[in-house]
Structure 1
Amino acid sequence: MNRVTTGNVSLDLILAGGFPENSINILMGLPGTGKTILAEKVIFSNAASDRPALYLSTVSEPLDKMLRYLQEFDHFDPEKVGESVFYHDMSDVLREGGLQTFAEQVIELVKEHDPAFLVIDSFKALHAFSVSEAEFRKTLTYLMTSLSSLAITSFLVGEYSSDEVASLPEFAVADGVMELVLNKVGVKDARYLRIIKSRGSDFLSGEHAFKISASGIDVFPRLQTPPTAISYELVNKRFKTGVEVLDSMVADGFWKGASTVVFGPPGCGKTLLGLHFIFKGIEMGEKGLIATMQENPTQLHRIVSGFGWDLQEAIDSGMLELFYTSSVDVYIDEFVSQVDVRATSSGAQRILIDSLNDLEASAPSAARFRDYMYSFVQAMAARGVSLFMTSEVKDLFQSSIQTEFGISHMSDNVVLMHYLRQKSEIARAISIIKSRGSRHDPGIRRFEITSRGLSVGDRFEHWDAPYCHGE
């Protein structure tokens, strides 16, 4: 089956290569969801002199206004307008001649331009010009029969709601239906798209996040658990965290390709332990990726240099990639997708995510967070990539690893960093709560933060142990 690219690699992936050629597709969603932007990106990505596109606007938005805003996007090519992309305003035809005249005029324009691509925006607006449901169905049948007999890939854009899919006749005749939605997540807007229908064609199901940008749309396909998750070759090697005593507490280190989550209160050294993990890997020839929402690059450079590491040298040598995004602007779909892409392209063998709390806050629901994290952890395990994640707990002394999103049971290793107090003295402590498939020392050990990073010492004796429980 031949495909029509959407102009976006990720969206093509969702559609198994793009829209099927010569299909009739509905792009649906409430006003402001990005339907027109997507339709225009598709036609400008495909239109050529021998395969022109015909864009018909009805009564939803004035044509001159549409063209004015279109110029703000990278996909707009003014040289194509009037040469391979043809616009026609059909509002007067509808108002003066009605629905049947509109349909006849559409077919005349199709014969005149012989397009490979056709957009009618808004198609739903045609309902307002129908005298009866019978007339609309008759006109719809005439249009769809005519278009189906021609080599045209058509896009019917409309402000449809989800409950209209089962009741309006155009959805029955359409080969494909894509819904775009705009949700409120806290103070942020979150956009998602999903494929409702794709006749005779495979597609990636579920909700996929996207953003409107200068390139039109940036799509972040829903992360799926890899098909190899049930059976894949395990790497029978251990990795070093860079903290010698901690490595000795877990049978000479954690398994390579394992996931580790470090819980702890503010200021206890979670990020520092993660940096040990990354720079030890670089020392051993393993490329690393730091994905952070905590410290911006300038702050991280200062922190890293304070412990004797050279962040810039590691980046310049190609051994380290730094990915920072503000926790205010982060979306879990985009973040996880970016980490996945960057890890693959850079060949990273160790990944530090700092922190899970920011990711959980960016998710529209706890269920979506769990799904994403499970799929991501499994994907990294299947590739043999070692994953290190930080998570902050609230209490300084009564440390608890009970979380709302259940991350500890997904992880192979759980490390707890906390504080102990004895009368007027406060000390930092570290313990290993869980190490899947490995013998480990369950003792609580003292550690200090020095100019060279973390230094783990002996076990505590006769101190008040923290209250700690699992999920």
Structure 2
Amino acid sequence: MTEPIGRVKSGIHGLDEITGGGLPQGRPTLLCGGAGSGKTLLAMSFLAEGALRHGEPGVFICFEETEEELGRNFASLGYDLETLIADKKLAIDFIQLERSEIEETGEYDLEGLFVRIACAIDAVGAKRVALDTIEALFAGLSDAAILRSELRRLFRWLKDRGMSAVITAERGEGALTRHGLEEYVSDCVILLDHRVENQIATRRLRIVKYRGGAHGANEYPFLIDSRGISVLPVTSLELAHDVSTERVGSGIQGLDEMLGGQGFWRGSSVLVSGGAGTGKTTIAAQFVVEACRRGERALFFAFEESPQQVARNMRAVGVDLQRWIDAGSLRFIATRPTFWGLEMHLARMHREVEDFSPQIVAIDPLFSLGGDNDQVKSMLLRLIDYLKGRRISAMCTAILHEAAGRADHIGVSSLMDAWIELRSIESSGEINRGIRVIKARGIAHSNQIREFVVTDAGVALRSPYLGSGGVLSGSARLAREMADHEAKAERELTIAAGKQAIEAKRRRVAAQIAALEAELADEETKAELFLARQRNYGEASDRLRSDLINSRGGLNDR
């Protein structure tokens, strides 16, 4: 059974992922692009990373820069070429070719180049080769047939030696390369692009072809900084993120209560939208501070204010960001939104997240990064996909203009797990703040609009107060509360007065009852005396009669 094409790790972050495991092993790869697109950097990174991380020495054949110049250039990116050369892990051969010194006479071939490359390969036992750039070899050659033949010979020679090769080429007009031939004889072609749109430069990479291997076909942004080159994949091929059953608090008790009392799911994405001055940054700040209190790390991307300004403003409302910045739990990344394009912002966010490994990320605000709606949505999709893959909870703030109302004008809300809307409520000649949960996936949440105030202890939600016209807030709420209080007090006074009247009447009735009882007792006493007299009188009469009878009977006996 025929074995599939082997792949060698490029060592370049992100590139191995979109190529399905690396560049083709033992085959040539063509890097084409304009001046300054990163061809030489990618080629040298391929060799240096192979030598440092995979034990594969390399040979770099250069036609434009000397070994000393390359050493200085790549030292700023963290590569010590002198040490690699001294350790026999890298060989650099500078071949100087001047077009003015080249004269086309007789047969033209690359036998001399093959000899030099072979010597360099044998000297270090190389497994990888880079040629930078191929145009220099054919600068004075005008015969297309010979050019095509020698290109094929060069690529075949590298294949026969089993070299994993990277060859750079300048981009041509209307073609990938100047000669328009190299891409046809290469097994893998990578196009590097450095474009400028709306005065903002963006670097992108695309795999044009990859013989015998599946690969990503999109354009991918890539970043060049002090740590070299890194490529940012567009998004995962599958929706297969691990999910957590843990909930994380927002740092605002009332908001957590609206979310079932436990906050958001860990690893979820939260959109906080609202007009200017509604408190979006304050809510995001409390979210990251709550994470720091839990012993987690938080990353705050600010695009409108400096870290010092945000910290000062939040300190005024009782949110101490500086404490956690000093403790190393919170890191601020503040960048002007117009400094880079969307792709570069995204690439740098990836880099910062990888370096700091936070559990919480806040982006304030999201839509200030510029770009059209489709670009912003694509960028946000990639960012959310990346954060979900790392189980990082994200809170993004977004300003919605009054004309837009609650409308989601770029459809970004569908990407979010939760959407918190802040609004300004105008009533009774004043403006108050309201908050509500529009959606929270997998969470039973409140459907009420709650008033919230920004105090010297942060954001606090007030319990809902319903009036005849709906939810009341601000001075209307205070007036209604006062009126209700007065009505309640009046009712209590009325009840108390009624109770007093009842008590007075009870006392009067009790007094009347007492008087009647006394009168009754007096009458009872009189009746008893009368009855007693009558009984005494009857008894006396009976005795007297008895005595009279007895006395008369005695006279008769005489």
- If the TM-score is normalised by the length of the shorter chain, which range does it land in? 0.7 to 0.9
How far does the alpha carbon of each residue in 1:228-263 deviate from its partner, in whole angstroms, 9 at most, with x for none? x3574451x443322222222333244413322111
User: What is the aligned partner in structure 2 of residue 435 from structure 1?
Assistant: 440
Task: Indicate whether 1:376 and 2:356 are aligned.
Answer: no
Name the CA distance, whole Å, in 1 between partners of 2:240 and 2:216.
20
> Which amino acid counterpart does residue 184 of structure 1 have in structure 2?
V
- Structure 1 residue 302 displacement after superposition: 1.7
How far does the alpha carbon of each residue in 1:31-67 deviate from its partner, in whole angstroms, 9 at most, with x for none? 232222322343455569994524142xxxx546x96
SS of the residue corresponding to residue 200 of structure 1 reads coil
> Which amino acid counterpart does residue 349 of structure 1 have in structure 2?
Q
> Which amino acid counterpart does residue 191 of structure 1 have in structure 2?
R
CA contact (8 A) 2:420 2:437 kept: yes
Q: 1:402 aligns with which of 407, 412, 418?
A: 407
User: What is the aligned partner in structure 2 of residue 175 from structure 1?
Assistant: 187
Q: 1:150 aligns with which of 154, 161, 177?
A: 161
> Which of the pair has the greater relative contact order for Cα pairs under 8 Å at 6+ separation?
1
User: What is the aligned partner in structure 1 of residue 516 from structure 2?
Assistant: none
Task: For 1:43-442, list aligned pairs within 5 A.
Answer: 43-46=47-50, 51=57, 53-57=59-63, 62-63=64-65, 68=69, 71-74=72-75, 75=79, 77-78=81-82, 84-91=91-98, 95-97=102-104, 100-114=107-121, 116=126, 117-124=128-135, 129-161=140-172, 163-165=174-176, 168-215=180-227, 217-225=228-236, 227=238, 229-230=239-240, 232-235=242-245, 237-257=246-266, 258-317=268-327, 319-340=329-350, 342-343=352-353, 348-359=358-369, 361=370, 363=371, 365-381=372-388, 383-395=390-402, 400-422=405-427, 424-442=429-447
Name the CA distance, whole Å, in 1 between partners of 2:229 and 2:59.
23
Name the CA distance, whole Å, in 2 between partners of 1:394 and 1:158.
48
CA contact (8 A) 1:99 1:129 kept: no
Name the CA distance, whole Å, in 1 between partners of 2:391 and 2:449.
30
Name the CA distance, whole Å, in 2 between partners of 1:42 and 1:436.
44
SS of the residue corresponding to residue 310 of structure 2 reads helix
More helix as a share of residues? 2
Name the CA shift for 1:342/1:191 in 2 (closer, same or farther; >3 Å).
closer
- Structure 1 residue 7 displacement after superposition: 5.2
- Structure 1 residue 205 displacement after superposition: 4.0
> Which amino acid counterpart does residue 73 of structure 1 have in structure 2?
F
User: What is the aligned partner in structure 1 of residue 545 from structure 2?
Assistant: none
> Which amino acid counterpart does residue 72 of structure 1 have in structure 2?
N
Name the CA shift for 1:230/1:245 in 2 (closer, same or farther; >3 Å).
same
- Structure 1 residue 29 displacement after superposition: 0.9
Q: 1:446 aligns with which of 422, 446, 451?
A: 451
Name the CA distance, whole Å, in 2 between partners of 1:212 and 1:110.
29
More displaced, 428-437 or 182-191? 428-437
Name the CA shift for 1:136/1:355 in 2 (closer, same or farther; >3 Å).
same
Q: Runs of 5+ in structure 2 lacking a partner?
A: 473-558
- Structure 1 residue 93 displacement after superposition: 9.6
Name the CA shift for 1:287/1:141 in 2 (closer, same or farther; >3 Å).
closer
> Which amino acid counterpart does residue 422 of structure 2 have in structure 1?
M
- Structure 1 residue 4 displacement after superposition: 5.1
SS of the residue corresponding to residue 110 of structure 2 reads helix
CA contact (8 A) 2:32 2:192 kept: yes
SS of the residue corresponding to residue 9 of structure 1 reads coil
Name the CA shift for 1:401/1:69 in 2 (closer, same or farther; >3 Å).
farther
CA contact (8 A) 1:8 1:219 kept: yes
Aligned residues: 452
Q: TM (normalized to structure 2)?
A: 0.70
Name the CA distance, whole Å, in 1 between partners of 2:357 and 2:99.
57
User: What is the aligned partner in structure 1 of residue 506 from structure 2?
Assistant: none
Q: Runs of 5+ in structure 1 lacking a partner?
A: 466-471
User: What is the aligned partner in structure 2 of residue 469 from structure 1?
Assistant: none
- Structure 1 residue 295 displacement after superposition: 2.6
The percent of aligned pairs where both chains have the same amino acid is: 22
SS of the residue corresponding to residue 413 of structure 2 reads coil
Name the CA shift for 1:102/1:307 in 2 (closer, same or farther; >3 Å).
farther
